[in-house]
């Protein structure tokens, strides 16, 4: 089942787009199935769950942290995650820098943008993102490497709203790239699109899609 789901999804994703298999709430056996089907990027949104799964699964898996992250959980996530997608406020930047310094490693991050029509969603506005990334970012956060942006569309059936929000994420990325990261090859990722909207996201320029339920089926929330 998982294998054939992945084959179907892979056919609709161009080769330059990365697939993060969102394995939150899924057992390790499901991750192993996806791994055996060739997948290497997995996304989790609960620090403890990621910390429990990672050591028991193949070491060439790259773990991406995709969820709302509390500052006191950064020390759990920073040693494991190869990319933190959901950096949504300044306190989090401060804490990731602190933990990265302790670990003596560079941490790759995406700046989460708030473009949806929902107060509940996290993230920087496009202008806040520009301010935070320009104001001596690399002096203030020498262990952090901003690799691009991440965002989520409003939870709605209205495709034109979703598409418009993805366009805003794309345009924000482009404007940051041109103004601040023109010569920086590492600033190259646009993480947007989930099971319900990843095809629109790819049309609007996503370089990473995060897909859970279309691969693993419905989650059993525990």
Ligand X SMILES: *Cc1c(COP(=O)(O)O)cnc(C)c1O
211 near ligand X (CB under 6 A): yes
210 near ligand X (CB under 6 A): yes
151 near ligand X (CB under 6 A): no
Residue number with CB closer to ligand X (47 or 67): 67
Q: According to CB under 6 A, which residues from 161 to 200 bind ligand X?
A: 194-196
Tokens of 118: 């929902």
Q: According to CB under 6 A, which residues from 22 to 81 bind ligand X?
A: 22, 24, 45, 66-67
Distance of closest approach, residue 185 Cβ to ligand X, in angstroms = 25
Tokens of 3: 């294998």
Please return the burial class of 211, using the count of CB atoms within 10 Å of its CB with bins 0-12, 13-18 and 19+. Answer: buried
Q: Using an 8 Å Cβ cutoff, are 60 and 36 in contact?
A: no
Residue number with CB closer to ligand X (76 or 86): 86
CA separation for the pair 63, 50 (Å, rounded): 8
**Residue in 47, 123, 146, 212 binding ligand X, rule: CB under 6 A:** 212
Nearest residue relative to ligand X (C-beta):
212
Distance of closest approach, residue 216 Cβ to ligand X, in angstroms = 8
Q: Using an 8 Å Cβ cutoff, are 95 and 71 in contact?
A: yes
H helices of the chain, where?
Answer: 2-11, 28-36, 47-53, 74-77, 90-103, 126-134, 137-140, 159-180, 198-203, 213-216
Binding site for ligand X (CB under 6 A): 22, 24, 45, 66-67, 194-196, 210-214
């Amino acid at each position: 089942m998982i294998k054939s789901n992945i084959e179907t999804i892979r056919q609709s994703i161009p080769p330059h787009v990365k697939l993060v298999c969102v394995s939150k709430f899924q057992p390790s056996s499901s991750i192993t199935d996806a791994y055996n089907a060739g997948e290497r990027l997995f996304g989790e949104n609960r620090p403890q769950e990621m910390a429990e799964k990672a050591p028991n699964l193949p070491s060439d898996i790259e773990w991406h942290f995709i969820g709302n992250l509390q500052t006191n959980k950064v020390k759990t996530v920073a040693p494991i995650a190869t990319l933190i997608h959901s950096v949504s406020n300044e306190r989090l930047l401060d804490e990731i820098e602190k933990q990265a310094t302790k670990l003596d490693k560079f941490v790759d991050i995406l700046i989460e943008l708030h473009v949806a029509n929902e107060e509940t969603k996290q993230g920087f506005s496009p202008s806040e993102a520009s301010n935070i990334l320009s104001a001596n970012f690399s002096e203030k956060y020498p262990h952090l490497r901003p690799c691009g942006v991440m965002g989520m569309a409003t939870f709605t059936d209205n495709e034109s709203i979703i598409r418009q929000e993805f366009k805003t994420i794309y345009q924000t990325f482009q404007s940051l790239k041109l103004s601040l990261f023109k010569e920086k090859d590492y600033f190259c990722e646009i993480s947007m699109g989930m099971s319900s909207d990843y095809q629109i996201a790819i049309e609007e320029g996503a370089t990473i899609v995060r897909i859970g339920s279309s691969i693993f089926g419905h989650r059993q929330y525990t």
